[in-house]
A = this chain, B = another copy of it.
Amino acid sequence: MDTFTSHRRVRLGRREKPAPLDLSHHYSAVTKRRMPSKIKEAYKFFQIPGILNMAGGLPNADFFPFDTLEAQAAKPERWTPSPNHPGETATSSTSSSDSAAATHIVVPKAADESDPSKKIDVTTVLQYGLAAGYPPLLSWVRQFTRENLQQDTPYKGGPDVVLTCGSTDGFSKTLDLLVDQWTEGVNDITDRPGLLCEPFVYTNILNQAQPHGVQVVTVKSNASGMAVKGPGGLEDVLANWDPSKGKRPHLMYTVTLGHNPTGIVLSVERKKEIYAVCSKYDVIIVEDEPYWYLQFPSAAVEEAKSRGLPPPTASTTPKSARSSGYPFLDSLTPSFLSLDTDGRVIRLDTFSKTVAPGCRLGWITAQPALVERFERINESTTQQPSGFVQGLISELVLGSNSSGSNTPNQRARSAFALLRSPRERAAFTGWDTSGWVRWLEGLRGTYERRVVRMCRTLDAGATLITTAPAPLSSRSDPDSEWAPLAVTKTPLYTFRWPRGGMFVWLRLHLETHPLWQAACPSSPQSPPLVLDGPALSAALMVWLTTKPFLVLVATGSMFSANDEVRQEDGWRYQRICFAAEEEGNVDLAAERFVEGVRRFWEVTDVEVVRKLLGELGPSGEVEALEEGVSSLGWYMGC
């Protein structure tokens, strides 16, 4: 197995890039049965000049009730960036003086443009389209991915891209591509597919995989991410796999840049180690990166400052072989794709966090053979993302070189046409890649400032300091009226400032709570209960939602990959999101949380806790709440 790829490499010279591996042995039976497209053989007939189409069953664009698609869109400078490296000034310091400044964008009914990769109009974008995506948007995403984002992919020809309806759709299609459904009692246990992931994971991935019969296999992780060596590490799990428990996993799911929920940014060094093991054991890596642009270079420095510790040694971001053309992008930690000599990385990107979750638009980057299979899957499922979002995002990013060819009547009626002079209109040519990067820099800046503010407040409230008269035995003058005070520091929670993403991951120290392991006697309404970790954790979560705290947090059990993790560790954690609230509430939310936790440690009446647990439902089951919040978290973008 460890020679899986060695032959190929030996044959290749040092500078020649290898072709990506043929991974078709991993395809699901369904994927294998999907036919290749013969579209090219037929396309010539549709392209005959002057041909009239009586073949396709599609409505003529005249019958679409939308004559234009329009929007007020932000200028890329709306938000102020933060520096790419601690101590530097932001590369793009030209922030908008007016954050409300907006541009009116219009997708016209029909654009005067013959190149499909430049033509953005209602007639094409609201018509049936290509399964890979709307040509202008697909071209831009491909170019951005290959030339700016992941320009160093080391296999021959580099990766291709295919649009998705967001990364949930992307992962669903990845399961379709690679996983044969497995059912106990029907299929052989040795065929059971497995999915490698961290003990704490974006749970909806599990909700997607488990119904297919996939076995979730956790890999031990530490503060730097997934462990490779040692007991429970990746190599151990794969090398000592017991086939009687299922097929050795051939699929890994991970978020490397701002991990959800732990906030870790996986270093390139760790990525190299993980990749080598995946290559050895023929594991496909699914790298889900909704937060890739949210990396916080100031986090380590500000964390030390906030805690009065010496400044950390500066970490150097590995330089790419060549620049992306954007210092911001160059400063980010490279993706697994940059190490992907085999072509075994499937990266999921989404517009959910960069534009809006409601886009339901994203893309998959992978070796071309896999992308071709994803296109076939698209054809049989979603066909393509909605033309409404493809059109408006295309227009936002690429602008329009054409004034369109609506009828004069329609043009005259367009609010836009009346408002803007032709010169003003022509002036909007889209954000372009530079504007897109500038927008991301602004978002990163805004989130990074939130992290600093919120984490300082959390640091300040992490320890309960209580004072009490010192015990007699320790007093120097036992008869003095002025008893000295003994200061007790009780750690309520500890955490690492997030290096990326949208979350602070707090470890609670419930074992310091006065009611730790207290017995709740039975009452006429309730059975007896011992206030163990899971009970206190759930009670704290409910406590925080009560007045005057009124904050809702997610508990670690919601992100536990399996019951073992949930029971052993899940209750120890809470995940706090600093992205969802409006700007004015960020400090308030952190303050309320800190106050709520502090006051929870003052609770000494077991009945108070029992009452809180009663809020979880008639049966008082923590599980129900967790699953409920987890389901709701889905809608709330967990």
Find out whether the CB atom of B580 lies under 8 angstroms from the CB atom of A56. Answer: yes
A637 located at the interface, meaning its Cβ lies under 8 Å from any Cβ of chain B in the complex: yes
**Shortest Cβ distance from A568 into chain B, in angstroms?**
22
Find out whether the CB atom of A70 lies under 8 angstroms from the CB atom of B67. Answer: no
Contact of A63 among B446, B578, B617 (CB under 8 A): B446
Residues of B within 8 A of A241 (CB): none
List A292-334 residues whose CB lies under 8 Å from chain B: none
Residues of B within 8 A of A68 (CB): 71-72
Report how far A181 CA is from B180 CA in the complex, Å. Answer: 8
Residues of B within 8 A of A391 (CB): 358
Find out whether the CB atom of A73 lies under 8 angstroms from the CB atom of B67. Answer: yes
A69 located at the interface, meaning its Cβ lies under 8 Å from any Cβ of chain B in the complex: yes
**Shortest Cβ distance from A381 into chain B, in angstroms?**
4
Find out whether the CB atom of B211 lies under 8 angstroms from the CB atom of A130. Answer: no
Find out whether the CB atom of A636 lies under 8 angstroms from the CB atom of B128. Answer: yes
Residues of B within 8 A of A589 (CB): 52, 54
Find out whether the CB atom of B357 lies under 8 angstroms from the CB atom of A386. Answer: no
Report how far A583 CA is from B52 CA in the complex, Å. Answer: 12
**Shortest Cβ distance from A173 into chain B, in angstroms?**
8
A414 located at the interface, meaning its Cβ lies under 8 Å from any Cβ of chain B in the complex: yes
Q: Which of A16-24, A27-35, A489-497 contacts B (4 or more CB under 8 A)?
A: A27-35
**Shortest Cβ distance from A359 into chain B, in angstroms?**
6
Contact with B along A567-580 (1 / 0, CB 8 A): 00000000111111
Find out whether the CB atom of A65 lies under 8 angstroms from the CB atom of B554. Answer: no
Find out whether the CB atom of B127 lies under 8 angstroms from the CB atom of A67. Answer: no
A285 located at the interface, meaning its Cβ lies under 8 Å from any Cβ of chain B in the complex: no
Contacts A42-B628, A52-B552: A634 and B379 contacting too (C-beta < 8 A)?
yes
**Shortest Cβ distance from A202 into chain B, in angstroms?**
8
Contact with B along A204-238 (1 / 0, CB 8 A): 10011011110000000000000000000000000
Report how far A65 CA is from B183 CA in the complex, Å. Answer: 45
Q: Which of A31, A545, A588 has the most chain B CB atoms closer than 10 A to its own CB? A: A545
Task: Please tell me how many copies of the chain the complex holds.
Answer: 2
Contacts A67-B73, A385-B386: A631 and B552 contacting too (C-beta < 8 A)?
no
A374 located at the interface, meaning its Cβ lies under 8 Å from any Cβ of chain B in the complex: no
Residues of B within 8 A of A72 (CB): 66-68, 70, 410, 413-415
A531 located at the interface, meaning its Cβ lies under 8 Å from any Cβ of chain B in the complex: no
Report how far A48 CA is from B74 CA in the complex, Å. Answer: 32
Report how far A52 CA is from B382 CA in the complex, Å. Answer: 35
Contact of A42 among B169, B419, B629 (CB under 8 A): B629
Report how far A439 CA is from B186 CA in the complex, Å. Answer: 51
Residues of B within 8 A of A405 (CB): none
Find out whether the CB atom of B41 lies under 8 angstroms from the CB atom of A635. Answer: no
Find out whether the CB atom of B128 lies under 8 angstroms from the CB atom of A168. Answer: no
A120 located at the interface, meaning its Cβ lies under 8 Å from any Cβ of chain B in the complex: no
Find out whether the CB atom of A260 lies under 8 angstroms from the CB atom of B66. Answer: no
Find out whether the CB atom of B213 lies under 8 angstroms from the CB atom of A29. Answer: yes
Contact with B along A153-196 (1 / 0, CB 8 A): 00000000000011011001000000011010011000000000
**Chain B residue with the shortest CB-CB distance to A417:** B415
Report how far A387 CA is from B392 CA in the complex, Å. Answer: 12
Residues of B within 8 A of A419 (CB): 415, 418-419
**Shortest Cβ distance from A587 into chain B, in angstroms?**
11
Q: Which of A97-105, A275-283, A459-467 contacts B (4 or more CB under 8 A)?
A: A97-105
A426 located at the interface, meaning its Cβ lies under 8 Å from any Cβ of chain B in the complex: no
Residues of B within 8 A of A634 (CB): 128, 131, 379, 383
Report how far A172 CA is from B378 CA in the complex, Å. Answer: 10
**Chain B residue with the shortest CB-CB distance to A211:** B33
Residues of B within 8 A of A468 (CB): none
**Shortest Cβ distance from A443 into chain B, in angstroms?**
6
Contacts A72-B410, A128-B635, A355-B64: A41 and B211 contacting too (C-beta < 8 A)?
no
Report how far A137 CA is from B126 CA in the complex, Å. Answer: 19
Find out whether the CB atom of A55 lies under 8 angstroms from the CB atom of B633. Answer: yes
Question: Could you jot down 9 A-B contacts, CB within 8 Å?
Answer: A33-B210, A46-B552, A53-B552, A55-B575, A59-B352, A59-B637, A168-B382, A359-B387, A359-B388
Given A46-B632, A387-B389; 18 other pairs, CB 8 A cutoff? A29-B186, A39-B631, A48-B550, A51-B552, A56-B632, A56-B637, A61-B356, A64-B356, A100-B409, A100-B410, A126-B358, A166-B382, A358-B388, A359-B386, A385-B386, A386-B389, A388-B388, A418-B419
Can you list the 5 inter-chain pairs with the closest CB atoms, starting with the nearest?
Answer: A358-B387, A56-B636, A58-B637, A42-B628, A126-B358
